[in-house]
Each structure stands twice: as structure tokens, then as C-alpha cells.
A and B are shown apart, each in its own frame.
Chain A
Amino acid sequence: MKEAVTIRNLNHHYPDGTVSLEDVSLTINEGERLAIIGQNGAGKTTLFLHLNGSIKSTEDNVLIFGENVRYMPIEKRIEKVGVVFADPDDQLFMPTIYDDVAFGPTNMGLPHDEVERRVRNALETVGLIGFEDRVPHHMSYGEKKRAALAAVLSMEPRILILDEPTANLDPKNRSILISLINRLNKEKGITTIVAMHDVNAVSHLADRVVVLNTTIVADGDAHTIFSDGELLKANNLEAPEIYKLFRILDCYGYTCCHQHPLSAIDAPPAFDASLDANGGSIHLRKNNSTADEVQKVMDTFEY
């Protein structure tokens, strides 16, 4: 499989000496769905800024599709890597949505017809057709978030990086955005990298989870990461609520399928598997050790 992102021993510190990244090595394959989780100040945004060349490493250790991002011309960089920042007001800087979505393709030197096509496609993808002449300050936060995504999609990047995509969104807009990101990965084969604190959404958006705390602390599938309570606590993180509930059910004698669900959508198949394995019924019971076991789960996963 082709390597979309290759980072080798990346280090970065701010002028005041604060170390933001330390010996980070990471390989992301083309078409992968990756989530980077970590506490505030863990270096997620700094890592992203290295990937799109906003911050240039002094060494040749950040490669995008095998090419050193340091020497890539800007129009090529934005064609490969698109970054959607956490606050859409930082990214929507033009007076109208059309101008913002057309900004990237125009910078790429594309002809007017192609810019028009890309703007239309991007707005259609995020469901904002008809918003071309709207001004950002007259739009809801969810709409602005989608417009910021459209402004990046119009550059048709092969790698899409989203910093806190679900932060401050209402449940409906959160769900719309999650579906949209997954559709882009599935239908267009775009490699998606998300940074988030919303652990309940991680399993919806990623097959692989990386825990970052200045350096890479853990790298694995979502189940491996979220079942390691010690790892989560050491990095000020937590497991999804559904996962914790199923771990508590275990204490009451429930025998789950081979993997505890990480989201509500995974819960019915988990119950079905349990029912099939247990002759069509599930029994919960409380014995002398139940309270201790529940306490142990609480100690492991709750603060």
C-alpha cells in the first residue's frame, strides 16, 4: 500500500523552549482513516501544520506521498494536503462563501471554468448549494464548519486533515459532518486524519487511533486504545460511554461478544452476538464480587 504520510523522528519546539513534538515517527497509508487523540497542548495542531508545510521541519523528515513537503511548491502542497482548522472563522476569511471556496483553486492557477466546477462540486458535497453569496457572519456555526470543509475540498486534496471537526456542533450537525468525512474517505479514497477530544465519535471516524502526548504514546485500533484504561488516564483521556457501560455489564455476568462496542450503533450487533451465543437470552446477576468488579472498572475508566 502506498504511504500517504511518512514522518521520521520529527522534533519541534517553540521559541520560548516549550517542546511541542518529540521524536514523532508515523506512517499513514493512502485511504486510511486515522484519529489522533491527546490532551490539550499535546502537539496535534503543530503536527498538522508540519503536514501541510505551514511549519517546515529543519530536517527532511516529513514526506507526503514520498515527497519532501519542505521543498514542495505551495500549489502542489495544497493539492496533496488540505487542513480544516478547528474554528471556521479562522478559515473563512473572504466576504462570501463563493470567494472562500474559490480561493484555493484560484491560487492553484486553475482556469475559471475549472474553478467554477470545483466550487459547485465542493458546495454540493457539503450540502451548501445556494450559499454562494452568503456572508459567514449570517451563517450558523454548523454551516460555517461545512463551508470551511468545502473551501478545502475545492482543492481536491488527497489527504484531508481535520482539527476537532465535531467540536461545538449540535448533534445533528455533528452527525452530518461525520457522515460527510466518511463518505469522502469511502467514495473518493481520501486519506482522512482527524484530531479530536470527542472520544464518542472516534470509532465513527477512524479505524486506527494514535495517542499523542508530545511524542506518540500509543498506536493501534480503537478497541486496543480504549480498553487500556491506564493509558487513557495517563494522557488525560477517557473511553467512550458505551464502552464503559458494557464493561459494567460484564461485572453483572453479561458475556459480550469478542469486542465491546465503542458507540451506540455497534451495540445492537453486540447484543445480537451475545444472544446467539447464549441461547437467545441474556442474564444479569449480582454476586459477592460484583461490587468490587464495578469499582475496579470505575477506578480504571472514571476520574
Chain B
Amino acid sequence: MHYPDIDRYATLNSPIHNLEPRVKILSFTILIFSVVFVLNIQAALLGLTMAAIILIISRLPISFMIRRSKVILIFILPILLLMPLTVSGTSLWSAGPITFSEEGLSLALLITIRALAAITLVLTLLGTQKIETTLKALSLLKVPGVIIQMLFFTYRYIYVIMDEFLQIWSSMRSKGYAFRLNRYGLSIIGNLIGMLLVKSYERAERVYRGMEAKGYRGNHISSAPFTIQATDYGAGLLLIAIAGALQVYPLVII
């Protein structure tokens, strides 16, 4: 089966791929926070430019970025359309009671650019290392074990649940089911979801027995032989410096 792996391009070779996972997570997180907290469009554009440069350095295919980000963009586009209509201020255009405000447009552009930059950075971060590497690095960064275990299991079993969903779906299709947006169609989908929940519950019990059989006592167990080199420190500091510059830049310009 074809799985939509977010880490499909994790084995490429680029300076971003080679960055030590913990350093990468920390510096990218600081950069992402810096980007989403900038207060003017120029700084946001600078952040987006930086994100684009990092993406180019990472050699991740643009098609991968577009495919991955379009779902998130669906939530951002309404903001771009609605903000100019709902935020009051200098009118750029009006038709009856509807006013298209300059302040609204600026705010919408700011939010959209910040979101685009953040999405680009998040996808670059997640796309340039294996998911398990990200989770192990998070574990070493002292993220609570319960959260790490939940993320580990989510990652491991999402594919198993997908397979189970497809099995049930194929079985439904083989019995002539075609989805229709009516009461019957929705009730069948409800049954499918219910069946998946029951199957997941039963599997969880079996997995727990499997864990017990290997001596699980509630602690997160994973090894991660990561080592930070001088170049990692350099690259990490550079990214953090960019994050700082994005915050300082508007103050200098003003």
C-alpha cells in the first residue's frame, strides 16, 4: 500500500538533513516562534524569505511542500478573504454595507505570510529527518515520556489503522456501497468509524500484552546515539540569530 509518509525525503543529503536532530528542533522551534510573533509585513516577508532559503538548502521537492501544505492553506485562505471585510478601518473599496478595509487587508496579509513561513519551516523540520528521529530527539530534550510514547504509538499504529480502514472500506465497496451524503450513507460511515474504534481498542489490549511480554513497566525505552558537532552548534546559532534578527529588525527600521 502507498503510505503518505511525511519523512519520505528524510534520506536526502543536505546541510539541513545533516543538522543534529536536537539542535535542529530547538533552533527551528525558536525560529518558528519568532516568525509567528513578528508584527509587521516587512519582517514577516523577511521571515518567509528565510524559510524559503532554508527550504531550498534542504533540497526538499517543492511538489512535496505544496502537497503537504495545501490542507493547511485551506484554513488560511478564508482569513485572507474575511479579515478585510470584518476589521474596521480605512476603506479601500465598498459596496453597500460591505467595506474592504486597508487595516483588515494588512492584518490578513501579515497572518497569511506568517502562517506560510511557519508551515514552510515546520515541514522542512519534519521532512528532513525520520519521524522516529524527531521523537527520539524530543525525548532527549526532556519532553515528558507519556507524550513521547503517545506520539510513538500514534506514528506506529496510524498505518495499521489505515490498513484496517481500507480493508473495511474494500469490503463495503465489494458489497456495492457507494458513499452518498444522505442519512443511510452517513450511518454506514458511522458504523465504519465505530468498527475501527472497537478494533483499535482490541488491538490496544493485545499490544499491551505484547509490551508486558517484553518487560514493559511504564517507562519510555528508546536509544538515540546522537552527537552534536561544532558545525551543528554553528548552524543552530545561525538559525537562532535569524530568529533574533526578525524581532530586532522592525525596531531598527522604526
Q: Scoring B residues 160 to 187 as 1 if CB is less than 8 Å from chain A, else 0, what string do you get?
A: 1000000000000000000000000000
Which residues of chain B are within 8 angstroms of A87 by Cβ–Cβ distance?
A: 206
CB of A78 closer than 8 Å to a CB of B: yes
Tell me the minimal C-beta distance from B211 to chain A in angstroms: 6
Q: Does B79 contact A (CB under 8 A)?
A: no
Asked whether A155 lies within 8 Å of B215 as measured between CB atoms, the reply is yes
**Residues of B within 8 A of A (CB-CB), count:** 27
Interface residue ranges of B6-65 to A (CB < 8 Å)? none
Query: B249 within 8 Å of A by Cβ?
Result: no
The answer to whether B209 and A49 touch across the interface, beta carbons within 8 angstroms, is yes
Per-residue CB contact flags for chain A residues 80-100 toward chain B (1 = under 8 Å, else 0) read: 001101010111111110110
Given A85-B206, A85-B209, A95-B132, CB of A137 within 8 Å of CB of B160 = yes
Supposing A85-B210, A94-B222, A112-B223 touch, asked if A78 and B159 sit within 8 A by C-beta, the answer is: no
Q: Does A104 contact B (CB under 8 A)?
A: yes
- How many of A's residues come within 8 Å of B, CB to CB? 37
B3 cross-chain contacts in A, Cβ below 8 A: 137-138
Q: Which residues of B contact A90 (CB under 8 A)?
A: 203, 206-207, 209-210
B214 (CB) vs chain A CBs: closest residue? A104
- Report yes or no: A155 in contact with B160, Cβ–Cβ below 8 A: no
Q: Which of B80-88, B110-118, B149-157, B235-243 contacts the other chain? A: B149-157
Interface on A for B, CB 8 Å cutoff? 49, 52, 54, 74-75, 77-78, 82-83, 85, 87, 89-96, 98-99, 102-104, 106-108, 112, 115, 133, 135-138, 151-152, 155
What are 30 A-B contacts defined by CB distance under 8 Å?
A49-B209, A54-B209, A54-B212, A74-B215, A78-B213, A78-B214, A82-B213, A83-B213, A85-B209, A85-B213, A89-B160, A90-B209, A90-B210, A93-B152, A93-B156, A93-B207, A93-B211, A99-B221, A99-B222, A102-B221, A103-B214, A103-B221, A104-B214, A104-B215, A107-B214, A137-B156, A138-B3, A151-B214, A155-B214, A155-B215
